[in-house]
């Protein structure tokens, strides 16, 4: 019986289990899409709890599949739930959930990598970046194949305050392979410290919440899965454009096991490379004999700030591409070899 003056908490009516939905619609996880179903509603409830208070919140679930996490989100008392599902086979089962929660669920058959998230929620939910996070959450059990490109895309959105972050500091609660989660949260000196660690930690507080053993999924993946929570920071730790930070960080980690100056060298054209590398390292006050995974966030900030000044002095520097230079060299070498071979053949023929 509801308490007088209070709205009764929403609960889904009795429904077929997730396993029964899978059988009913003859759903089968597709290996090429790296799909794995989570059927245990205790675990889906636990994932949803990591997102925080969802009562009356607006939530976007990425890749709901057969709807296990979807049920836990609805039972948390959300105001609106947007489901973005790429695989059309799951739509009928999700429609069944939508009918069980009238007016609460909107289903989009589409790709999260191309969906316009800036239109996903009502405008009245917008908050200033410096304010408390809006009542908006992104939750998802991501396919392994899409998890890294998707989080990089959303980190860029955070940096530019667009996409789902046009509403403010929208929080994300997502699943990753355990190894990827360890990279996201790795500290300086840790063996999992990587480009992903810097790109995520300079924009968010990254929390590795808990690990789900692989055997909890159907079919069982070869790895365990971790749940990671991302509340965006008010101020990024490196206050430079996303593209510049990514270029510096990617270059540093290009030669992960070598001294960091080896990766820094790839920021500069061959002509004057050594001199400019020394200038950057000295001005940034970074020890060139440190390994990339040993560098702290403040050292990356110093490298990015110094590189920005060098780019301001020489705008052509930022568009320089080390890999493209290597490709052009290889192309020229091949061209020279191909033009010299016929001459040798003719000489041999004359002899």
How far apart CA 335 and CA 333 sit, in angstroms, is: 5
- The answer to whether 208 is a known ligand-binding residue is no
Phi/psi at 299 (nearest 5 deg)? -70, -40
38 is in an annotated binding site: yes
With left for phi above 0 and alpha for psi between -120 and 50, is residue 324 left, alpha or beta?
Answer: alpha
Q: Cβ of 139: how many Cβ atoms within 10 Å?
A: 29
- Cis bond before residue 292 (omega within 30° of 0): no
Is-contact 318 311, C-beta < 8 A? yes
Please tell me whether 93 is known to bind a ligand: no
Q: Give strand pairing partners of 227.
A: 175, 210
**Is there a binding annotation on residue 110?**
no
Integer Cα distance of 345 and 172 in angstroms: 64
Q: Per the annotation, does 111 bind a ligand? A: yes
Whether the CB-CB separation of 205 and 230 falls below 8 Å is answered with yes
Tally of CB atoms within 10 A around 291: 18
> Residues within the annotated binding site?
36, 38, 63, 85, 111, 141
> Residues within the annotated binding site for S-adenosyl-L-methionine?
36, 38, 63, 85, 111, 141
């Amino acid at each position: 019986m509801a308490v007088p003056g209070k709205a009764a908490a929403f609960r889904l009516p009795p429904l077929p289990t997730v396993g029964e939905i899978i059988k009913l619609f003859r759903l089968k996880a597709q290996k090429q899409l790296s799909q794995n179903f989570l059927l245990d509603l205790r675990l889906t409830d636990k994932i949803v709890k990591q997102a925080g208070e969802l009562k009356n919140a607006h939530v976007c679930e990425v890749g709901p599949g057969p709807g296990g996490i979807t049920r836990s989100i609805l039972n948390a008392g959300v105001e609106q739930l947007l489901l973005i599902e790429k695989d059309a086979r799951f739509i009928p089962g999700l429609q069944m959930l939508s009918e069980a929660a009238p007016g609460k669920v909107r289903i989009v058959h589409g790709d999260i990598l191309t969906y316009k998230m800036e239109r996903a929620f009502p405008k009245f939910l917008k908050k200033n970046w410096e304010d408390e996070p809006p009542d908006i959450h992104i939750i998802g059990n991501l396919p392994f194949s899409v998890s890294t490109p998707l989080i990089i895309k959303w980190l860029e959105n955070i940096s530019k305050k667009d996409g789902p972050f046009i509403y403010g500091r929208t929080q994300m609660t997502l699943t990753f392979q355990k190894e990827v989660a360890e990279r996201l949260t790795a500290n300086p000196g840790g063996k999992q410290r990587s480009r992903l660690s810097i790109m995520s930690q300079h924009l968010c507080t990254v929390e590795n919440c808990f690990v789900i053993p692989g055997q909890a999924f159907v079919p069982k993946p070869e790895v365990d899965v971790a749940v990671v929570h991302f509340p965006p920071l008010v101020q990024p730790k490196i206050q430079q454009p996303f593209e510049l930070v990514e270029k510096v960080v990617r270059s540093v980690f290009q030669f992960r096991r070598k001294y960091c100056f080896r990766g820094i060298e790839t920021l500069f054209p061959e002509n004057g490379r050594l001199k400019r590398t020394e200038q950057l390292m000295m001005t940034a006050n970074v020890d060139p004999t440190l390994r990339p995974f040993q560098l702290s966030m403040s050292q990356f900030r110093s490298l990015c700030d110094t590189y920005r000044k060098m780019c301001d002095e020489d705008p052509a520097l930022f568009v320089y591409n080390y890999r493209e230079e290597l490709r052009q060299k290889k192309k020229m070498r091949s061209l020279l070899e191909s033009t010299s071979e016929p001459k040798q053949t003719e000489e041999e023929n004359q002899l």
